[in-house]
Amino acid sequence: MASQGMVSLTKSLCIMTPKVRLKNTKTTKNLITRSCNLRVLCSKLSQWEQAPFIHDSTEEAGGGIVLEKTKNVFESIVSETEAEEQKIQVFKWPIWLLGPSVLLTSGMAPTLWLPLSSVYVGSKVVSVLSLIGLDCIFNLGATLFLLMADSGARPKDPSQPCKSQPPFSYKFWNVFALVTGFLIPTLLLLGSQTGLLASLQPELPFLSVAVLLFPYFILLAVQTLTEILTWSWQSPVWLVTPVVYEAYRVLQLMRGLKLSAEVNAPVWVVHMIRGLVSWWVLILGMQLMRVAWFAGFASRTTTTTQQPESVASE
pLDDT of residue 124: 79
pLDDT band of 176, cuts 50, 70, 90: very high
Whether the full predicted model's pTM is greater than 0.85, yes or no, is no
Judge whether 211 and 264 are in contact, CB under 8 Å.
no
Q: What is the pLDDT of residues 213-255, one digit of tens each?
A: 999 999 999 999 999 999 998 888 999 999 999 999 999 999 8
Residue 270, CA atoms < 13 Å, CB-side half-sphere: 11
Mean pLDDT of 194-222: 85
Residue 181, pLDDT above cutoff 90 = yes
pLDDT of residue 306: 56
Listed in sequence order, the residues at least 6 apart from 249 whose beta carbon sits closer than 8 Å to its beta carbon are 216, 219, 223, 280
Is 253 inside a domain boundary?
Answer: yes
Is 194 inside a domain boundary?
Answer: yes
In sign, the C-alpha dihedral spanning 294, 297, 301, 302 is: positive
pLDDT of residue 96: 79
Is 134 inside a domain boundary?
Answer: yes
Q: What is the pLDDT of residues 132-143, one digit of tens each?
A: 888 999 999 999
pLDDT of residue 104: 85
Is 281 inside a domain boundary?
Answer: yes
Is 31 inside a domain boundary?
Answer: no
Residue 204, pLDDT above cutoff 50 = yes
Mean pLDDT of 142-169: 80
Q: How many structural domains compose the chain?
A: 1
Is 105 inside a domain boundary?
Answer: yes
The 3-class SS string of 98-152 reads HHHHHHHHHHHHHHHHCCHHHHCCCCHHHHHHHHHHHHHHHHHHHHHHHHHHHHH
d(CA 219, CA 137): 12
Amino acid in the structure at residue 235: S
Residue 62, pLDDT above cutoff 70 = no
Query: E strands, the chain, where?
Result: none
Is 268 inside a domain boundary?
Answer: yes
Q: What share of the chain has pLDDT > 90, as a percent? A: 27
pLDDT of residue 302: 61
Nearest CA among 219, 189, 180 for reference residue 207: 189
pLDDT of residue 80: 54
Strand, coil or helix: 19: coil
Q: What is the rounded average pLDDT for all residues in the chain?
A: 74
pLDDT of residue 73: 47
d(CA 205, CA 180): 23
Residue 156, pLDDT above cutoff 80 = no
Judge whether 179 and 187 are in contact, CB under 8 Å.
no
pLDDT band of 78, cuts 50, 70, 90: very low
Tell me how far the alpha carbon of residue 17 is from its chain's centroid: 71
d(CA 62, CA 67): 9
Domain that holds residue 235: 85-155+165-295
Is 189 inside a domain boundary?
Answer: yes
